[in-house]
Amino acid sequence: MAAETPVPGASGAGIVLVTGATGYVGGHLVARLLSEGHRTRVTVREPGRETEVLALVRQAGADREDLLEYAVADLSADTGWAAAVDGVSHVLHVASPFPVTPPENEDELILPARDGALRVISAARTAGVRRVVMTSSFAAVGYTVKPDAQYSEEDWTDPDTEGLPAYHKSKVLAERAAWDFVEANGGIELAVVNPVGIFGPVLGPRLAASVNIVRSMLTGRMPVVPLMYFGVVDVRDVVDLHLRAMLHPKAAGERFLAVGGPSISFLGMAEALRAHLPAAADVLPSSELTVEEMREAAKTEPALRDAAGLGGRVPVISNAKARSVLDWEPRDVTRTVLDTADSLIGLGLVTPVGKP
């Protein structure tokens, strides 16, 4: 089954609520829902942010704006969530803070991520919503080092792992809290999608932390890269998996890793970009720090602690469950990286050196 074909039973949904629609994943997700004819309500944090959502879905080519409605709610407060879920059959809870630079206090991420997820699920349960699909992350799966580096949905990151970045901690604590809530209270179905690094076409100038890596490479801001391998998945395939997790009977109570294929390194990503965009060849990174150099640099650069802790291991992340249970077929990861770059250039967000 092709990645973009309608999911069987798509007509089984009523109003679908999407949180995080002003973001990268959320924008693509809303566009796909509209294109498939779903009545879609989105939450924005403040009134007036509707125009941001519209700009994203238009860039994604959605043509059914008449199906779009809005609610105002912030993950950090109770206000607005009861109204947001009123009359909704399914919730796609995508929103979570994902800053480019880590905060001073980890609670700035943990509290909205964990308590916000509980606000959304609890309000949804009270309103009689059938199923919540929550966007978690590989950060909640594979950041506690294990000898074989093979990861499936059975794995969990230990939130007490030494040096675990605040974002990763926020994702694992939020996902745990969501499962615990549903187990303790019942009355609502939960399915979880755990994407690795999400890349693919961008929809506007505000770039998710993942996509920012490609921009930094293309603009010469990353002359040297850490020795680090990671999984890549296309944002359009992440969206597709959310829809399958929303509608497939067997998805309830399950988490699904979203990974497009074998892990790649920062340098591998740069090499694919160099072959595709010769004009950027000189600015793209061409060397990587050794594990020893990374450990040294991480003493003064917190952003490198994650990479240094992983020590150059190559995670083997399985997408067998999403493929077999939900018939999910992700794109090739190199194509995804190149599509990211092409969209950044196409939207004028990057001008590779040497290009007129």
Active site residues: 171
Q: Which is nearer to ligand NAP, 69 or 282 (CB)?
A: 69
Q: Taking CB under 6 A as the criterion, which residues in 34-93 touch ligand NAP? A: 45, 74-76
Range in contact with ligand NAP (rule: CB under 6 A) among 184-192, 195-203, 270-278, 299-307: 195-203
Evaluate whether 163 touches 327 at the Cβ level (below 8 Å).
Answer: no
Burial category of 21 from C-beta neighbours within 10 Å (exposed 0-12, middle 13-18, buried 19 and up): buried
Min dist CB 142 to ligand NAP, Å, is 12
Q: Taking CB under 6 A as the criterion, which residues in 114-133 touch ligand NAP? A: 116
Q: Which position's Cβ is nearest ligand NAP? A: 23
Q: Which of 306, 343, 332 is nearest to 230 (CA)?
A: 306
Q: Which amino acid is at 57?
A: V
Helix (H, G, I), strand (E, B) or coil at 289: strand
36/84 Cα distance (integer angstroms):
21
Q: Taking CB under 6 A as the criterion, which residues in 143-182 touch ligand NAP? A: 171
For residue 216, state whether it binds ligand NAP (rule: CB under 6 A): no
Contacts of 137 (CB under 8 A, 6+ apart): 168, 171, 194, 195
Q: Which is nearer to ligand NAP, 92 or 267 (CB)?
A: 92
Min dist CB 198 to ligand NAP, Å, is 4
For residue 336, state whether it binds ligand NAP (rule: CB under 6 A): no
For residue 231, state whether it binds ligand NAP (rule: CB under 6 A): no
What is the CB neighbour count within 10 angstroms for residue 99?
A: 11
Q: Taking CB under 6 A as the criterion, which residues in 268-307 touch ligand NAP? A: none
- Sign of torsion, CA 192 204 50 99? positive
Q: Which is nearer to ligand NAP, 37 or 205 (CB)?
A: 205
Range in contact with ligand NAP (rule: CB under 6 A) among 18-26, 154-162, 304-312, 343-351: 18-26
Q: Which is nearer to ligand NAP, 53 or 350 (CB)?
A: 53
Q: Which is nearer to ligand NAP, 141 or 277 (CB)?
A: 141
In eight-state DSSP terms, residue 49 is T
Burial category of 2 from C-beta neighbours within 10 Å (exposed 0-12, middle 13-18, buried 19 and up): exposed
For residue 200, state whether it binds ligand NAP (rule: CB under 6 A): no
Q: Which is nearer to ligand NAP, 178 or 280 (CB)?
A: 178
Contact pick of 137, 157, 319, 336 for ligand NAP (by CB under 6 A): 137
SS3 string of 100-140? CCCCCCCHHHHHHHHHHHHHHHHHHHHCCCCEEEEECCHHH
Q: Which amino acid is at 64?
A: R
Six token digits for residue 341: 């770059």
Contact pick of 135, 263, 319, 343 for ligand NAP (by CB under 6 A): 135
244/5 Cα distance (integer angstroms):
11
Number of residues that bind ligand NAP (CB under 6 A): 25
Residues that bind ligand NAP (CB under 6 A): 20, 22-26, 45, 74-76, 94-98, 112, 116, 135, 137, 171, 195, 197-198, 208, 210
